[in-house]
């Protein structure tokens, strides 16, 4: 039998009205009571009646999450965190993949589908800062990622430059001086690759080292194959390197595969650091040292920011950069 609000109220030991307030994300509920209700919702697998909610409140209780590429573990794990954060607030999430395609991103922002949701969490890759007018839409919107449209819309991001600089400094502090970068995009400035290259360059310059362009491993896509290909090209070129900073964990895992296949020991011969702290890096051989960019914090902050924007369209725009950390494992 499908669970009802009355079932949730009985299990949580609260009134029907209290359960309704939690489901509709009203703010004036004690945290302990809210958690008790949410635990009962999880136990009973209660699913809100979205049609009834929409008729009562003018809201659907549904958020949309648009991401470039769910094949990349970072985005898949970010989607999981967003769904969990939304569930804790009695909301559900619809996921859309834009395939890193500018036209699909532009079409999404004017799509009739947005009328079915209360708000949009959007991680664009094709849009540029000069596209600021495109993100001025009627649907409440929070941007994720590096494309900055300040001060037009709310934005939650990671500290790409600072985190990449810290990862490179981490390698430098362990005596590595010939650090290759895998995932380089020549000429890019505002994307993840450009920002992480900037942090890498700043760390080298801070140590009195110049960027050696022979150590820049180009990888247009950030999948394992491209990581392996970039590492193989570095090896075949004959350039000496004693460390790799990869722009994401997937590239790092591909690079480690190529290195070990060529007889290079990780970390004895070449230390490797990734970026994203995805689950698969925990179980690689050796386990991957990486940057944790604060994925859970990004999800929580993004959902909170969107919920607040839905409630108050006139509130000041929020720009938030989440803290990061270095996770040390066996690859360094």
Give the CATH number for residue 174. Answer: 3.40.50.2300
Q: Does residue 12 share a domain with residue 62? A: no
What integer is the mean pLDDT of 22-32? 80
What integer is the mean pLDDT of 239-251? 98
pTM of the model as a whole = 0.81
Q: Does residue 215 share a domain with residue 110? A: no
Mean of pLDDT over the chain: 92
What integer is the mean pLDDT of 56-81? 89
User: How far out from the chain centre does Cα 52 lie?
Assistant: 33
Q: Determine the Cα–Cα distance for residues 250 and 224; give it in Å rounded to an integer.
A: 5
| Burial class of residue 56 in the structure, from the number of CB atoms within 10 Å of its CB (0-12 exposed, 13-18 middle, 19+ buried) | exposed
36 assigned to some structural domain: yes
pLDDT(275) > 60: yes
Confidence at 24, pLDDT banded by 50, 70, 90: confident
257 assigned to some structural domain: yes
Q: What is the pLDDT of residue 202?
A: 98
What integer is the mean pLDDT of 161-179? 98
pLDDT tens-digit map of 189-230: 888 999 999 999 999 999 999 999 999 999 999 999 999 999
Q: Does residue 299 share a domain with residue 245? A: no
332 assigned to some structural domain: no
Residue 162 neighbours by CB under 8 Å, 6+ apart: 199, 324
331 assigned to some structural domain: no
Q: What is the pLDDT of residue 148?
A: 67
pLDDT tens-digit map of 103-151: 999 999 988 888 889 999 999 988 877 777 888 888 999 999 887 665 6
Q: What is the pLDDT of residue 164?
A: 98
Q: Does residue 279 share a domain with residue 256? A: yes
How many CA atoms within 13 Å lie on the side-chain side of 98? 24
pLDDT tens-digit map of 179-200: 999 999 999 888 899 999 999 9
Query: Between the CA of residue 76 and those of 175, 179, 278, 283, 299, what are the distances in Å?
Result: 35, 29, 10, 17, 12
141 assigned to some structural domain: yes
1: number of Cβ within 10 Å: 4
120 assigned to some structural domain: yes
Q: Does residue 20 share a domain with residue 61? A: no
Share of the chain above pLDDT 70, in %: 95
Q: Does residue 27 share a domain with residue 129? A: no
What integer is the mean pLDDT of 22-38? 84
68 assigned to some structural domain: yes
**Count: domains in the chain:** 3
Q: Does residue 166 share a domain with residue 258? A: yes
Q: Does residue 133 share a domain with residue 103? A: yes
What integer is the mean pLDDT of 162-172? 98
HEC-encoded secondary structure of the chain: CCCCHHHHHHHHCCCHHHHHHHHCCCCCCCHHHHHHHHHHHHHHCCCCCHHHHHHHHCCCCEEEEEECCCCCHHHHHHHHHHHHHHHCCCCEEEEEECCCCHHHHHHHHCCHHHHHCCEEEECCCCCCHHHHHHHCCCCCEEEECCCCCCCCCEEEEECHHHHHHHHHHHHHHCCCCCEEEEEECCCCCCCHHHHHHHHHHHHHHHCCCCCCHHHEEECCCCCHHHHHHHHHHHHHHCCCCCEEEECCHHHHHHHHHHHHHCCCCCCCCCEEEEECCCHHHHCCCCCCEEEECCHHHHHHHHHHHHHHHHHCCCCCCCEEEECCEEECCCCC
Q: Does residue 288 share a domain with residue 299? A: no
Q: Does residue 167 share a domain with residue 216? A: yes
330 assigned to some structural domain: no
Give the range of the structural domain holding residue 179, as residue numbers without chain letter: 160-292
Q: Does residue 313 share a domain with residue 242? A: no
Question: CATH code at 43?
Answer: 1.10.260.40
Q: Does residue 168 share a domain with residue 78? A: no
Q: What is the pLDDT of residue 146?
A: 81
């Amino acid at each position: 039998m499908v669970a009802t609000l009355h079932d949730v109220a009985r299990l949580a030991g609260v009134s029907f009205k209290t359960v309704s307030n939690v489901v509709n994300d009203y703010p004036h509920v004690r945290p302990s009571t809210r958690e008790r209700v949410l635990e009962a919702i999880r136990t009973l697998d209660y699913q809100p009646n979205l049609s009834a909610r929409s008729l009562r409140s003018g809201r659907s209780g549904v958020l949309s999450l648009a991401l470039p590429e769910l094949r990349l573990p970072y985005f898949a794990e970010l989607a999981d965190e967003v769904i969990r954060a939304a569930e804790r607030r009695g909301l559900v999430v619809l996921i859309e993949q834009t395939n890193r395609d500018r036209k699909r991103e532009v079409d999404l922002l004017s799509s009739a589908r947005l009328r079915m949701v209360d708000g949009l969490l959007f991680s664009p890759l094709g849009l540029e800062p000069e596209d600021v007018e495109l993100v001025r839409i009627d649907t409440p919107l929070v941007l994720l990622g590096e494309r900055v449209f300040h001060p037009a819309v709310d934005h939650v991001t990671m500290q790409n430059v600072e985190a990449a600089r810290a990862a490179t400094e981490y390698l430098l502090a362990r005596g590595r001086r010939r650090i290759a970068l895998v995932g380089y995009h020549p000429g890019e400035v505002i994307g993840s690759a450009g920002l992480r290259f900037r942090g890498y360059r700043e760390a080298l310059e801070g140590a009195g080292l110049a960027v050696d362009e022979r150590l820049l491993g180009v990888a247009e896509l950030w999948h394992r194959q491209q990581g392996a290909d970039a590492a193989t090209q570095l090896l075949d070129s004959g350039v000496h390197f004693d460390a790799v900073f990869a722009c994401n964990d997937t590239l790092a895992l591909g690079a480690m595969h190529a290195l070990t296949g060529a007889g290079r020991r990780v970390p004895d011969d070449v230390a490797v650091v990734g970026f994203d702290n995805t689950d698969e890096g925990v179980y690689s051989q050796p386990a991957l040292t990486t940057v944790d960019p604060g994925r859970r914090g990004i999800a929580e902050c993004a959902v909170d920011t969107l919920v607040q924007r839905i409630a108050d369209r006139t509130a000041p725009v929020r720009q938030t950069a989440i803290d990061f950390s270095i996770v040390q494992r066996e690859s360094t």
